[in-house]
Amino acid sequence: MLGKCIENVRKCVPLVHNITNYVTVNDVANVLLACGGSPIMSDEPDDVEDITTICGGLNINIGTLNKSSIEGMFLAGKRANELGHAVLLDPVGAGASALRTSTAIRLMEEVKFTVIRGNISEIKTLAHGSGTTKGVDADVADAVTEETLDSAVAFVKALAEKTGSIIAITGAIDLVADADSCYVIRNGRAEMGRITGTGCQLSGMMTAFLVANPDNRLEAAAAAVCTMGLAGEIGWARMQPGDGNSTYRNRIIDAIYNMDGSTLDKGAKYEIR
């Protein structure tokens, strides 16, 4: 059951090293604290190996990458691999610039990722080596819909097999797959796209779920996606007239803070294909 996965996070209080963009980093930290984890941020090449060593997992997010932080990503990723830590890649904006695309692809070549999580355009870019990402948002033409679901599930399983990583594609319908099984998740609300960084927040939180559930990582990744989506539904239900995306951001993080295993089990909407 997915609820067990968040309960394990609260018991284990996993320390997560984040090399992440400066746009959404504060929310990533607060979401990690909300779900029961503990965040630490460091991107300096001379600092990252020590920091990742004391952590249980590593979240690499390439938004606002720079030459120094890119070097930090490779050093931390390799050290985390040596230590057998969970490592997640969030390829923000892959397809939007040559540097982002090539950095993500090089990271996939040199670091073994437990999970790669992005929107459909970013993940297609990684699969094909080029893409049509619209800034940091998915291209509408790429969207996973009920009509394209069968082929999307096949795509994500094939990419998981090829890369050896769990692949998580988030959007109106979320897909979380290894080579054999794909969670098709229908939690969340479209309005979450009007808040900056819900994807980045999910990546941070998912890393904590992976650390706290080492024997059940596919389920842990799916549980994190359901937690985020369900928090989006619970947070929306508390919105008042006049509220907007800034208040919604707070309510989603608050809902994660209050999420327990039984709420998650009752609210999670998914099937396994």
CB 113 within 8 A of CB 163: yes
Cα maximum dimension of the chain: 51
Choice from 54, 141, 190, 215 touching a copy of itself (CB under 8 A)? 54
Among residues 265, 182, 235, 184, which one has the least CA distance to residue 31? 235
When asked if residue 256 is in the footprint of a copy of itself (CB under 8 A), the reply is yes
Residues 68-107 that bind a copy of itself (CB under 8 A): 68, 93, 96-100
Q: From residue 3 to residue 42, what is the string marking binding to a copy of itself with x (rule CB under 8 A)?
A: ------------x-----xxxxxxx-xx--xx---xxxxx
Pick from 2, 55, 58, 226: which binds a copy of itself (CB under 8 A)?
55
d(CA 242, CA 151): 40
In this chain, which stretch among 65-73, 117-125, 203-211, 263-271 interacts with a copy of itself, using CB under 8 A? 65-73
Tell me the two tokens of residue 90.
Answer: 């969030």
User: Residues 34, 9: contact at Cβ < 8 Å?
Assistant: no
Asked if 43 is part of the footprint of a copy of itself (rule: CB under 8 A), the reply reads yes
How many Cα atoms sit within 13 Å of 206 on the Cβ side?
36
Report the C-alpha gap between 136 and 96 in whole angstroms.
7
Applying CB under 8 A, the residues found at the interface with a copy of itself are 15, 21-27, 29-30, 33-34, 38-44, 46-47, 50-51, 54-55, 63-68, 93, 96-100, 134-137, 194-197, 234, 238, 242-247, 249-258
